[in-house]
Amino acid sequence: MSHDHDHETNFGSATSPLAARVRAMEALLIEKGLVTEAEIQDNVAYMDSRSPVNGARLVARAWADEGFRARLLSDGKAAAIELGIDAVASPELVVVENTPDVHNLIVCTLCSCYPRNVLGRPPDWYKSFEYRSRAVREPRAVMREFGFEPPGDTRVAVHDSTADVRYMVLPIRPPGTGGLDESELADLVTRDCLIGVDVPRAPSAAQA
């Protein structure tokens, strides 16, 4: 199973009616001359350039460079800018590190606050009421539905994003990856790992 597709099992799709309204609003704005189709497409292209690939790059650099890891955990926004990621206008970015003792899970219980400048648009399931309510009440059950559950003696810490503070997970580096370069390490990090519903797999496990 790919862990980057929209997870439909229990969380469903919440954006189809919204997408239709957005298209209608775009058509109205163009008709009134307030915006052009080219301007809309430029903005879409910019949004698409912000993706989980950026978060994966941050994780891979942190795995490979202890100094960068410390800076990422101290000031996630500054570390993202250091790596050339456009996060100047982003709210505060707090990066929480998984350890053998603690596994972190990110949610926004009120709406869909998400580090878009670093990770792009949130998946539909992240915005669904089902995920927003269950991630707090039963985080292990939610992660289990994504095919992952931390060991029983690992504490699960749930972080609630806000308009002012966004969160991203720094996963544990998988064993057996000592010979990989940063690009290869980044390939192991999916969007779901950065939210905390999954973890990176070693290359052999990822291909299984």
Which of the two residues, 197 and 1, has the higher pLDDT score?
197
For 39-74, the pLDDT digits (tens) are 666 555 555 556 899 999 999 999 999 999 999 999
Instruction: Give the start-to-end residue ranges of the domains of the chain.
Output: 13-49, 51-207
For 138-164, the pLDDT digits (tens) are 999 999 999 999 999 999 999 999 999
Average pLDDT, the chain: 87
Whether 105 has a pLDDT exceeding 80, the answer reads yes
Residue of 49, 74, 111, 133 marked catalytic = 111
CATH of domain 51-207: 3.90.330.10
The confidence score (pLDDT) of residue 119 equals 94
- Give yes or no: 108 in active site: yes
Average pLDDT over residues 80-87: 93
Whether 24 has a pLDDT exceeding 60, the answer reads yes
Q: Please give, one letter per residue, the 3-state secondary structure of the chain.
A: CCCCCCCCCCCCCCCHHHHHHHHHHHHHHHHCCCCCHHHHHHHHHHHHHCCHHHHHHHHHHHHHCHHHHHHHHHCHHHHHHHCCCCCCCCCEEEEEECCCCEEEEEECCCCCCCCHHHHCCCCHHHHCHHHHHHHHHCHHHHHHHCCCCCCCCCEEEEEECCCCEEEEEECCCCCCCCCCCHHHHHCCCCHHHHHCCCCCCCHHHHHC
Least confident span in 20-29, 31-40, 137-146, 193-202? 31-40
- Give yes or no: 112 in active site: yes
Whether 121 has a pLDDT exceeding 60, the answer reads yes
Q: What is the pTM of this model?
A: 0.79
The confidence score (pLDDT) of residue 54 equals 96
Residue of 90, 112, 128, 161 marked catalytic = 112
Residue of 108, 128, 161, 193 marked catalytic = 108
Residue of 90, 113, 128, 193 marked catalytic = 113
